[in-house]
Structure 1
Amino acid sequence: MTGTTRSLAPLAGAWKQAFHLATDGSGSYGKGLNLARNGAVAQIHTQPGRINAPVAAKKATHQAAIHLPELTAAQWDTLAARLAGDPQAVADLVANRIPATIADSGHAGGISIVPPADSITFSCSCPTGRSHRVCDHSAALGHAVAERLTTTPSTLLGARGMTARALAAHVRDLVDGADPGPLPADTNGTVRAAQLYSLAAHRPPQAPPDLDLDTVSPLTYSDPPLPGPRAQDMTRMIADAAARAQTLLADTATAPHDELADILRILASPDGADRVPAAQHATGIPEATLRAMMIGYRHGGPAGAHATLAATAATTDDLERARQTIHTSRAVGLGTVDIDGDTLTDTTAGVQIRPGPDGRWYPFTLWRADEWRPAPGACDDPAEAFRAARRARAARPLRR
């Protein structure tokens, strides 16, 4: 989820509580937390009823798993019906985002995506795990899942028996031919265009308004004909566009607004990958770099794309202060954070953070050779950005 969408932190919090209770006071809970923080959990895989991942500890790698009960078809129907009645949830789903509504069973038809503690079980290839007791490795996996749920709730959806795409299709079937209502504005009063037009596609046909063109009084009507957005949504979008234009005219915009950012915006759209060769020809930027910038744009918008292309110039003092902040916060593991040009890099861990044109720090992970891939979690605090890079590195093993 991006932008001002409601936080999914309650989903991660509910999982932490249930997972903690499921460990039943075992000392492995704390040991697993240390393993997870040190990047011991590799790629997490999800299938119905199961979440598993390789976990490295004491020079050995074990296959840890957490077992969850799948939701029944009736429970998925109840959840989908509740989501179909929420315009924000519908708009999120049709725009390929997971709605924050699922984090609260009170707003999800009473269905809890997080299972009760007594239905969570563990297994592992280690001796303790083979007896289906929680071990350090399966506990580390539980902590890693909690971190992932703040940005990727589909991890838990899949384990409960339905992919995010299947849930979106189920909800779309329920709203086809029905009017889901207006899309509510975000907390700052704006409405996202992608969600607005996705929602409009599911509204029933509407006859054009009967206008008296001979009158001299101002024309008023409820909504324009489809596929146009609703009047109140359009008003909010116009107000937002006017505010952005005023910022640009006053020369106070902080984010980069240029032709390259517009190209990356198009490439980062669902059908944008097909335009990469044309963009490469137009910009002269290698295709591999453009594809990495697409990822950077999805994580951090125009500033994320620019940070992927090159770090914003920073003074030695700023870089040194950021490095000290990372060390003081103990975000770094056993490696050393080096100042490398305008970046802070831990080559041992394969992570890096870069200053972006908007003043934030952007996390990266080593992909292969000297190729760095952007990761989610850009932040004003370099220590938090560094932690985000370590989490992304733990979720994606180093490519050789």
Structure 2
Amino acid sequence: MTVRSLAPLAGAWKQAFHLATNGSGSYGKGLNLARNGAVAQIHTQPGKISAPVAAKKATHQAAIHLPELTAPQWDTLAAKLAADPQAVADLVANRIPASIADSGHAGGISIAPPADGITFSCSCPTGRTHRVCDHSAALGHAVAERLTATPSLLLGARGMTARALAAHVRDLVDGADPGPLPADTNGTVRAAQLYSLAAHRPAQQPTDLDLDTVSTLTWNDAPHPGPRARDLAQMTADAAARAQALLAGTTTAPHDELADIIRILASPDGTDHLAAAQHATEVPEPTLRAMMIGYRHGGPAGAHATLAATPATTEVLERARAAVHASRAVGLGAVTTDGDALTDTSAGVQIRPGPDGRWYPFTLWRGDEWRPAPGACDDPAEAFRAARRARAARPLRR
């Protein structure tokens, strides 16, 4: 699955969403909000995509409603994908197949909804009348931006998760040979996909033996059970991704043993290994979960910053505090030095220095627990603004 291969899905959504706004001025205003990071975490459920959207010192709950696909439509889509070895390999390896973006290769089923099937709602006055507002328009633009990387947004809203679709396709190909896996455009075949396909091909019949020529058979103890097919596929994909990062020189330091464990936990299905990770590291589960979020936002350095701020000199902390104060409006709460971090207690935000020299934003979660937020930056003032944006989009948990 690549950004380019799923571009048609994002393009189809953009066109339908644009037509659904019916020339409203909110379309352009929503684009500016989305580009400024106003849309927080996007949630999907059958028939609905929603997210908190921060604008003008207030956060509104915006939603986009769209029709679910019917059971016969899902059956048609699954049957078409089951006939495509590349799509089968993608799905059993927990990837969304590129062919799902093209209705011509998906049994005529379009994952992107028609424009007349899209409606809007929001907690703001305009949205309560079910007209498109700046906030629901921002959500629509954010969906378009994230579709190429997270096509499951539309799948879930159309009534089926990617995991359920993969299970449906696996049922159709169980015990059958899906055929050979075609190479990618660069001439390679992914090892994880090959293994996934092999696991779903019928077992080969054992070779007939002439027992008259066999005099003695000796058996050793039965071998230990091997790793699960899913784990092997995940390990293969992970090794390939790490090798690619090393070749490209994009591996982020410090990638030590703890960060490597968090990297596995932050991957798809990584939480299956949470108990083993807690036993191996002796780090409490809530801390591991917070470090997983930190890793997703800032890689190994983000995970380490979540565990603890990197020690900084008084001079560095004072210079950062002065930069934050200079960038803030008059009358806001005071920024204080809290150990090796800078904290605005009244706003519930904090920034910490990380081991890579960047500043990492955090927001108060509950009690004295801090959760990492996106927006790590070399500039402490910009990191502080990222923390405030995340605070506005994330209600305080008690």
TM-score, scaled relative to structure 2: 0.64
Q: Is contact 2:53–2:60 with CA below 8 Å preserved after alignment?
A: yes
Q: Which amino acid aligns with 1:200?
A: A
1: CA distance between counterparts of 2:90 and 2:381?
31
* Distance change >3 Å, CA 391–CA 125, structure 1 → 2: closer
Instruction: State the match for 1:275 in structure 2.
Output: 276
2: CA distance between counterparts of 1:376 and 1:59?
19
2: CA distance between counterparts of 1:183 and 1:355?
43
The Cα offsets for residues 98-117 of structure 1, whole Å up to 9 and x where unpaired, read as 34443333443332211222
Instruction: State the match for 2:290 in structure 1.
Output: 292
The Cα offsets for residues 338-360 of structure 1, whole Å up to 9 and x where unpaired, read as 99999899985948586565x99
Q: Secondary structure at the match of 1:271?
A: helix
Instruction: State the match for 2:217 in structure 1.
Output: none
The Cα offsets for residues 341-392 of structure 1, whole Å up to 9 and x where unpaired, read as 99899985948586565x9997765544664445678899999999998887
Structure 1 residue 309: deviation in Å?
A: 3.8
Structure 1 residue 202: deviation in Å?
A: 1.5
Q: Is contact 2:182–2:189 with CA below 8 Å preserved after alignment?
A: no
What is the correspondence of 1:1-400 to structure 2 with a 5 Å cutoff? 8-37=6-35, 41=39, 44-53=42-51, 55=53, 63-124=61-122, 126-180=124-178, 181-182=180-181, 184=183, 191=190, 193=192, 195-207=193-205, 258-264=256-262, 267-268=265-266, 269-279=270-280, 283-297=281-295, 305-306=303-304, 308-309=306-307, 350=349, 367-368=365-366, 371-374=369-372, 396-400=394-398
Q: Which amino acid aligns with 1:191?
A: R
1: CA distance between counterparts of 2:333 and 2:147?
27
Q: Secondary structure at the match of 2:22?
A: coil
Query: Paired residues, what number?
Result: 361
* Distance change >3 Å, CA 395–CA 174, structure 1 → 2: farther
Q: What 5-or-longer segments of structure 1 have no aligned partner? A: 211-225, 329-333
Q: Is contact 2:40–2:53 with CA below 8 Å preserved after alignment?
A: yes
* Distance change >3 Å, CA 360–CA 350, structure 1 → 2: closer
The Cα offsets for residues 43-75 of structure 1, whole Å up to 9 and x where unpaired, read as 644333233445565676655432212223232
* Distance change >3 Å, CA 7–CA 345, structure 1 → 2: farther
2: CA distance between counterparts of 1:385 and 1:47?
32
Q: What 5-or-longer segments of structure 2 have no aligned partner? A: 209-225
1: CA distance between counterparts of 2:7 and 2:335?
29
2: CA distance between counterparts of 1:160 and 1:91?
23
Structure 1 residue 272: deviation in Å?
A: 0.3
Q: Which amino acid aligns with 2:190?
A: V
The Cα offsets for residues 204-229 of structure 1, whole Å up to 9 and x where unpaired, read as 2124689xxxxxxxxxxxxxxx9999
Structure 1 residue 183: deviation in Å?
A: 7.3
1: CA distance between counterparts of 2:309 and 2:143?
31
RMSD of Structure 2 on Structure 1 (CA): 5.4
